[in-house]
Chain A
Amino acid sequence: MWPTELPAFVPFFVAALLALVTRGHLRSVLMLSIVTLSGLHLWFLDGDVLVNMQFLEYELAPYRVDSLSIVFGYVFHIAAFVSILFALHIKDTMQHVCGLLYAGSAMGALFAGDLLTLFVFWEILAVSSVFLVWARRTERAYQSGMRYLIIQVGSGVILLGGLLLHVEQTGSLEFDFIGTDHLGGWLILLAFGIKSAFPLLHTWLTDAYPEATPTGTVFLSAFTTKTAIYTLARGYPGTELLIYVGATMACFPIFYAVIQNDLRRVLSYSLINQLGFMVCGIGIGTALAINGAVSHAFVHIIYKSLLFMSMGAVLYRTGKIKATDIGGLYKTMPKTAVLCIIGAASISAFPLFSGFVAKSMIMAAAMKEGYPWIWLVLLLASASVLKHAGIQIPYFAFFAHDSGIRTSEPPKNMLLAMTIAAFLCLAIGIYPKMLYQLLPFATDFNPYDLTHVLAQTQLLFFAMLAFVWLNLQGVYPPEKVAINLDAEWLYRRFLRRLVEKISSYVQGLDSELKLKVEDRVNWLVTYFAQRHYPTGKGAVIRPTGNMVMYIAILLAAYLWLLLSFPH
């Protein structure tokens, strides 16, 4: 087809260029076929690829395919194909072009063999993705996108700082294990952490993803955070800190997810919870744990897109996405409802669905490496995934109270995209070997032993029972028109108010000073005015005779002095 050394981002950027100048069916065919060809090309790649390049005195590797990156490469192609298919019906060139640029730059970052190349794609990733938020074309989306862009570009700047220090320390730009034994390593970790939504650094995600277009969020949910997960798995495997960061990420969003009204925001919080599992796996760092993190990322991208697609379809058809506004949609969107439930079952990790075969690896690794408390926390987090994503999403959108909205199924391309994703969720769940043989480390892990299946089924069914019971008791928090404060309060409210306070204080000082100066000037003006007004002393007119007298006095004084001191 094309040379082996052709980096994977090139076909995507070419497709973006072609999408810019074509329209209609031609554009659809071009976009889908180029992505398919690029995916097939990657699939038939034989062994690792490394392309080297000399830049100043540094050795760069703009394209490197190995056992870790290629798994992400496969799933990124699947996600790109599904997202494009889902967005085919829209007549918005900007979204098509930016979607392709965005997917392409994720591909570039993924296959970057050195930190400088990574940095370049890291920034393109940020800039191209923000247009998917702005494409909503409301002021709310514009501002949300602006905050997103500032944080994302900030992450890139931190990455640049870190990589400069790293190069100074190690003398190499190569992107492999980085570790945290020097400042550069910490800075790079921080940059990766922002993009993988570490706690307190996560607000850009829950802020911007729900504001993007129905089709844009599907793109967004796949690439940015998973690129960051890949970089963490490459640069920081076995960093113990990540275990605790991951456990926190798996836990805190579940509380927020339960009380959100915007269903795409529920999914955004749930996304962070899922990333927590992966970060935890990377922190544990054994072959089993890394396999777990990678396979979790793989299946997660697919079922998360499926869930975002089903909510996108609801938003597209009804124009509404808040739990308070919708409900009872199964009546007119039954296919979407079923597809959404398959996604929900997958994310909840029911046996025979894809989440099950991936998540269990991370849990098994946590137990095996002697982190029983972390295991317990992750178990709680997986029970709650069922609650906030598995039940809440389909229940509030398609069942719950009947909102009276009668609509219709989304366009065929949307349904087809969702069907493909749902099919993959089931296929991987039923034949996990298909996924396992792609993983970076060889594994004979078997998720389907009786103990494990029974344990997971009990956990999930009793969690469902708890949901039903709480709902019947009326304890379950009802949908409510409100927002919930999160860490973004720090900059959207606290910092804003602080700046307002400071500027009003400075303004006060300034106007006080102005008043004082004005006062003095006024006083001076009045003083001079008074002196020179008709009655003022300065305005008195003295006759010339006076002058003669003064001169006479002066001369007399002079004479007197002359006579007194003759020498």
Chain B
Amino acid sequence: MADKKLYLFDNPRNVKIVLYTLYISCGILLLLDFIVHRHTQHRWEELLGFYSIYGFIGCSAIVIGSKWLRGLVERDEDYYTRDELTMTEEEDHVAD
């Protein structure tokens, strides 16, 4: 099973390049807000960096919300199936 071949992202430098490209693009996009005059339809959009902030905060909120939700609804994988499946299937399932 041991695979000695090195692939693209086995090299930490390549991962770093991807991440830094993302950081720099984000910086440029944020700066563009100061240069480009956008025609807005709603007051919210006039806020500088509205979309950037909303994207960042919105996504973080969703992830944190999901973590909270997980605490609420998470159950063992056989929560339903231990009632529903017959013994043989259950064993098959565990086996694979």
Contact surface of A with B, Cβ cutoff 8 Å:
138-140, 143, 254-256, 258-259, 319, 330-331, 367-368, 372, 375-376, 379-380, 383-384, 386-387, 399, 404, 406, 450-451, 454-470, 475-477, 480-486, 492-493, 496
Contact = CB atoms under 8 A, between A and B. Distances in A.
A455 B8 contact: no
B29 A457 contact: yes
Contacts of A483: 74-77, 79-80
Contacts of A376: 44
Given A367-B41, A383-B55, A483-B80, A406 B74 contact: no
A317 B75 CA distance: 29
Interface of B: 1, 3, 5, 7-9, 19, 22-23, 25-26, 29-30, 32-33, 36, 38-42, 44-45, 49, 51-60, 62-67, 69-70, 73-77, 79-81, 83-86, 89, 92-93, 96
Please give me the 5 A-B residue pairs with the lowest Cβ-Cβ distance, nearest first.
Answer: A462-B55, A466-B59, A258-B66, A451-B38, A458-B51
A461 B63 contact: no
A149 B5 CA distance: 48
B32 to A, nearest CB: 6
A283 B65 CA distance: 27
Given A454-B36, A485-B75, A496-B83, A140 B63 contact: no
Nearest to A405: B1
Given A139-B89, A383-B59, A466-B60, 17 more contacts: A138-B92, A140-B89, A140-B93, A258-B66, A259-B70, A330-B8, A380-B58, A384-B62, A386-B59, A455-B45, A462-B53, A476-B63, A482-B74, A482-B77, A483-B74, A485-B74, A492-B80
Contact of A380 (B3, B32, B62): B62
A477 B30 CA distance: 28
B75 A254 contact: no
A140 B36 CA distance: 55
Contacts of B8: 330
A258 B81 CA distance: 23
A386 to B, nearest CB: 8
A486 B54 contact: no
7 contacts: A254-B66, A451-B38, A458-B55, A459-B54, A462-B59, A465-B23, A477-B66
A380 B57 CA distance: 10
A395 B77 CA distance: 23
